[in-house]
Structure 1
Amino acid sequence: MDLRSAQTPNDFVHEDISEYVAQLQLHMALQARNLVPTLTKAVDSREQLLQQTQATLEKLASRQAV
């Protein structure tokens, strides 16, 4: 007896839904990759933020009375 032939209609619906959800998750993951900036852009923005923060701290430190 074939395992596939022993399945009920509900099993087929469940498999179809599971397959649809898996394909939807893959599609969403691929779409999300297009929305997220590339790693080099993220590194550049973090580096820029670090430089701005360092410059601000140096300005504040230089203006403090000794």
Structure 2
Amino acid sequence: MENTLNLQSLESHHNTVREDFSEYVAHLQLHMALQARNLVPTLTQAADSREQLLHQTQAELEKMISRQMR
């Protein structure tokens, strides 16, 4: 009985990790798609203060999201 509970717990944890990883990949794919369409300026394009602020804000949001996934 105890082995069955441990196996179920391990499977549940594995599924949670898989879902978290899938969500992270989805966020990464969205970011890459936006970059590819030039909807989000890259660091080298950040010429004016608005673009720099947008880039900094995006970077901070990505950091927060990646830390929540851990």
For normalisation by structure 2, the TM-score amounts to: 0.43
Q: Tell me which structure has the larger Cα radius of gyration.
A: 1
The structure, 1 or 2, with the larger RCO (C-alpha pairs under 8 Å, 6+ apart) is 2
Q: What TM-score, normalized by structure 1, do the two folds share?
A: 0.45
